[in-house]
Homo-oligomer: A and B are copies of this chain.
Amino acid sequence: MRIELPRTRERFGANVFFGPLQVYELDSGLLAEPEYENGAIVGLSYERLHEIQRQMAVVVPVRGERLRLIEGVLFGIPNQCLTIIVSNSPREPVDRFRIEQQAIYAFARHSRKRVLLIHQRDPVVAKAFVEAGYPELLDGDGLVRHGKAEGMLVATILAHLAGKRYVGFVDADNYSPGAAHEYLCEYAAGFALAESQYSMVRILWQSKPKIVDGHMYFARWGRTSRFTNYFLNQLISHYTGFETDIVGTGNAGEHALTLDLALRLDYGAGYAVEPHHIVSLLERFGGERESPDPQVMREGVEIFQIESRNPHFHKAGEHGHVQDMTRAALSSIHGSYLCTEDLRRQIEEELVRHTTMEPGDAVKPVRRYPPLLDVDFDVFRATVEERLQVMPFQPAQPIHEEAPARRRRWWGGTQPARDHPSGETEESPSPR
């Protein structure tokens, strides 16, 4: 992968948001060919991406998507990644999950992929959350709540239990396997550039084709994203005093995090999950209030936004879905203690104009889930293990240790550092 080095950045406390990075080449060959760096663009070898992907769990949230599309996404996931599929597909009147199981396990057998498949509403998963001390995720039925964020939280714990260092998300409603593959290369490229162990990569789609008057139109911005990005940028601008448009990925379903960061964020429910990432980063590591993680404040958080080249060619959302997305995203910003009165008023106006909210209605706060760091992972593993047949579980990495000094700027030096010696992550014993 050949990728631009960050040119612009915006600091908010310990958070550094980098401006969108362009990519110039999907496959830049082997390490044997000298890695080239001209001060602006760096070539990352296949081995470097592979080393990071080997430590990455790729999460595919599924809810009734066509099997053909799911298979396409699996095709695009590199073999070195662990795939985690959290399905919330209906089990009645037809047991769609069972059909998914059959198809996905067959595909995994053919492709020799390690795939871990679990149902979001499996009672065993709910039991594991209760016993591990994290009952917030359950609903009145005693099962994990419906919703995208909720499935992602299940997957994040599984990724951590599998000893992975990174977790990346790829939506299943993607017609283009090549796009899924590109995102996973870009996640790895972002982490290759990262200096901090607390980092995040968010994909900015170069275009999103839609049908307008019977013709293809390559839209640049989604309907929800315009609002989300605007308000997140306004929020940042208010505190820095310089107006910015740095955030272009407020609703990035395609994103990846280091587990070290993923376990330390709090989460917004349902569709609020992606914009709430930013809200959570600003609140927890923005320096406006005391941070719950002084270690993160010292180390810093890096947020990379990478502009993908494949058009994001997916099933268009219904109008109602777009409204739900918009409401969730803006409510998350509205509910932050950082949000100013003026911004709150603007958000309320937008919600009245673009959703079913009536003037005078109160903005319904987004449900928040606390950081996963406090989950008792050993108990969770012991409970859920019976459901995880495909992949033998390896001990988790030591997340509570003092983080090693990982600052580096290899692309400015002469020798690229090999940051993750092979096997280190998977073999280190868990301290819990």
Contact = CB atoms under 8 A, between A and B. Distances in A.
Interface of A: 2, 23-30, 33, 36, 41, 43, 46-47, 50, 72, 74-76, 78-80, 107, 110-113, 175-179, 181-182, 209, 211, 214-216, 309-311, 313
A56 to B, nearest CB: 13
Given A2-B79, A27-B78, A176-B178, 7 more contacts: A24-B110, A25-B74, A27-B181, A72-B310, A175-B209, A211-B215, A311-B313
B178 A178 contact: yes
B178 A79 contact: no
A4 to B, nearest CB: 9
A112 to B, nearest CB: 6
Given A177-B310, A178-B310, A311-B176, A107 B24 contact: yes
23 contacts: A2-B79, A24-B107, A24-B110, A24-B111, A25-B79, A25-B111, A26-B75, A26-B177, A27-B79, A28-B78, A30-B46, A30-B47, A30-B80, A36-B112, A41-B110, A46-B46, A72-B310, A76-B309, A176-B178, A177-B182, A178-B178, A178-B182, A178-B310
6 closest A-B pairs by beta carbon, nearest first, are: A178-B178, A27-B78, A24-B111, A25-B111, A29-B79, A178-B310
Q: Which of A25, A43, A214, A215 has the most CB of B within 10 A?
A: A25
B30 A309 contact: no
Contact of A29 (B33, B80, B209, B310): B80
A250 B39 CA distance: 47
A100 to B, nearest CB: 17
Nearest to A45: B79
Please state the number of chain copies in the assembly.
2
A112 B45 CA distance: 13
Nearest to A422: B32
- The binding surface of chain A is classed by DSSP as mixed
Contacts of A309: 72, 75-76, 177
Contacts of A311: 175-176, 313
B29 A50 contact: yes
A406 to B, nearest CB: 24
A29 B26 CA distance: 15
Given A26-B78, A113-B25, A211 B209 contact: no
Contacts of A47: 30
A110 B75 contact: no
A420 to B, nearest CB: 15
Contact of A177 (B78, B177, B178): B178
Given A25-B79, A46-B46, A2 B177 contact: no
A23 B46 CA distance: 21
A130 to B, nearest CB: 38
Q: Which of A23, A36, A181, A215 has the most CB of B within 10 A?
A: A181
A381 to B, nearest CB: 26
Contacts of A24: 75, 107, 110-111
A367 to B, nearest CB: 34
A29 B211 contact: no
A193 to B, nearest CB: 17
Contact of A181 (B26, B107, B112, B216): B26
Contacts of A43: 79, 112
Contacts of A28: 78-79, 112
Nearest to A78: B27
A172 to B, nearest CB: 15
Contacts of A310: 72, 176-178
A43 B110 CA distance: 10
Contact of A30 (B36, B50, B76, B177): B50
A135 B255 CA distance: 56
A121 B182 CA distance: 36
Contacts of A215: 211
